[in-house]
Amino acid sequence: MPTISQIRADFPILDRQVRGHPLAYLDSTASSQKPTAVLRVMDDYYRQDNANVHRGVHTLSESATAAYENARLRIARFINAASPKEVIFTRNATEGLNLVAYSWGLANLHPGDEVLCTEMEHHSNIVPWQIVCEMTGATFRYVPITPQGELDESALAELLNERTRLFAFTAMSNVLGTINPVKPLVEKAHAVGALAVVDGAQSVPHLHTDVQALDADFLAFSGHKMLGPTGIGVLYGKREHLEAMPPFMGGGDMIREVKMSGSRWNDLPYKFEAGTPAIAEAIGLGAAVDYLSDLGMDWAIEHERSLTAYAWERLHEVEGLRVLGPGPEKRGGLLSFILGEIHPHDVAAILDLEGIAVRAGHHCAQPIHDHYDIPASTRASFYIYNTTEEIDRLVVALHKAKSVFDF
């Protein structure tokens, strides 16, 4: 295994100085940094093979197509999809979830049907379902969370019933860090005849993901949270569902034949990939998957668990600081917290003066903050390149924030 110093050397941005301090990047839950291997393959594509895919017979187009489809194959293997045809390239997890909502939802939801999600969802797994329920007459419902930041199992047992057509839930909360039991939740959805849609934006970069073992009907994730570039994401869907769904967007490449009298759709996965795709970004995501695979997800998981447990102990040394969500044994690599009466934006601004990057706000998850009756929180998150020394710097800076505000 490489050392943490060797891993950090793969990320050029970590050499940056911020306000006279070495950068401590603790915001990977929002967007991770990119290793040289990802930057290199994207640069190589633009320098050597820049051409559109699927449409040309010249050398550059064939090379670009091969690289693009090879990335799809490697991503399918990374999540153990049964076929690369079940891997749809999207802009991000948000677009993937919207694709299911508009394509499957508009075709299958009717008055009397219910869509169920949870109180801990990112807005991307709430708003599309609210919109589609309003359009179809279906009812939108949600499972509340406990004071500890876990799903309320008793409420779930009542809410998940024969009227539920679809249960959408996150595998890991981007605010609470809560890791949900995906497979049991999928089984409960299937037991009442509902489909299971999993937001894997936080789980796929940090945990083992085997979509066949989980048996989820759909799972969406983003490249930029797992060492890949922005502008590329993945929707995994079981083939039988994708085959039955109408296209999400119309245009080039998603068709087999177009006549003025009507059109016929292309095969999977292209039916859902209208227009020129994010070619370089897909190739970059393929390289990111290779990097994580070579490093080993077992190592990544253990490293993050160690950092999270360490941060949990250190942050609880700061008087007046309150961490949201469950203990370190039930959460992923992030800690959202409140520091006394100091506004989270002020906390983040002071940390930035020390070269420490964290996120402050509602993190596109306002219902969670409403649950705790707070407007926002500060969030520190960890990934494969972070160290305990950076957490120590965070704690020192939090004490400084308290002194600035005389708290």
Backbone dihedral angles phi then psi of residue 296, each to the nearest 5 degrees: 100, 120
117 is known as an active-site residue: no
What the block records as the tokens of 5 is: 């110093």
Distance in angstroms (rounded) separating the CA atoms of residues 80 and 77: 5
β-pairing verdict for 218-222 and 195-199: parallel
Q: What is the dihedral of CA 287, 293, 294, 299, to 10 degrees?
A: 130
Which 3 state secondary structure label does DSSP give 399?
Answer: helix
Annotated active-site residue in 364, 374, 395, 404: 364
**Which residue spans within 131-177 are E strands per DSSP?**
139-143, 164-170
Sign of CA dihedral 374, 376, 382, 387: negative
Token pair 């839930």 in the structure block, residue: 169
Rounded to whole angstroms, what are the CA distances from 202 to 55, 81, 209, 225, 367?
Answer: 34, 18, 11, 7, 18
> How many C-beta atoms lie closer than 10 Å to residue 205's C-beta?
29
Active site residues: 364
